[in-house]
Amino acid sequence: MRIVVVALLAIMLTLTGCAGAGSAADADTPVQVVEIDAANMRFTSDVIEVPVGTRLVIELTNTDELQMHDLVLANGVAGTHLAPGESETIDVGVITEDIDGWCSISNHRAMGMTLTVIAVDPASD
């Protein structure tokens, strides 16, 4: 039954041209791009403040000499293993609450390789 409802909704959205409304809303979502370095069992910086409702994009670079690192977030978003010198772009999504992040390789998390995304109330600024 649920599948039928979803299919009907999809057809209705297509027929009424409402699909465009969703993409327009996405385009209005503010984006905050933050460059983060991974090295020496630390993320720098390790605190990222993002206004609620803003999409966070992390440009992660492994600036370590030898160690491989990655970044995994508590909201289920995960990057790939980065060799020294490699970088990647991680779309964390629209921020609605604080999110913990860490390096999932070996014991790096326990050694302090963590970061925190802090959701800031836009009205408080």
CA atoms within 13 A on the CB side of 47: 3
Q: Does 103 engage in binding with Cu ion (CB under 5 A)?
A: yes
Q: Which residues have C-beta within 8 Å of that of residue 122, sequence separation ≥ 6?
A: 51, 52, 53
For residue 69, what is the enclosing H or E element? none
Q: Does 48 engage in binding with Cu ion (CB under 5 A)?
A: no
**Nearest distance, CB of residue 79 and Cu ion, angstroms:** 11
**For residues 43 and 69, what is the distance between their CA atoms, to the nearest angstrom?**
10
Q: Does 42 engage in binding with Cu ion (CB under 5 A)?
A: no
**For residues 47 and 119, what is the distance between their CA atoms, to the nearest angstrom?**
11
Is 32 or 104 the residue whose CB approaches Cu ion more closely?
104
Q: Does 69 engage in binding with Cu ion (CB under 5 A)?
A: yes
Task: Determine the distance from the C-alpha atom of residue 108 to the mean position of all C-alpha atoms in its chain, rounded to a whole number.
Answer: 20
Is 4 or 66 the residue whose CB approaches Cu ion more closely?
66
Q: Which of 72, 105, 119, 120 binds Cu ion (CB under 5 A)?
A: 105
Is 56 or 103 the residue whose CB approaches Cu ion more closely?
103
Is 99 or 103 the residue whose CB approaches Cu ion more closely?
103
Residue 116 carries which side chain, given as an amino acid letter? Answer: T
Q: Residues in the site for Cu ion, rule: CB under 5 A? A: 69, 103, 105, 108, 113
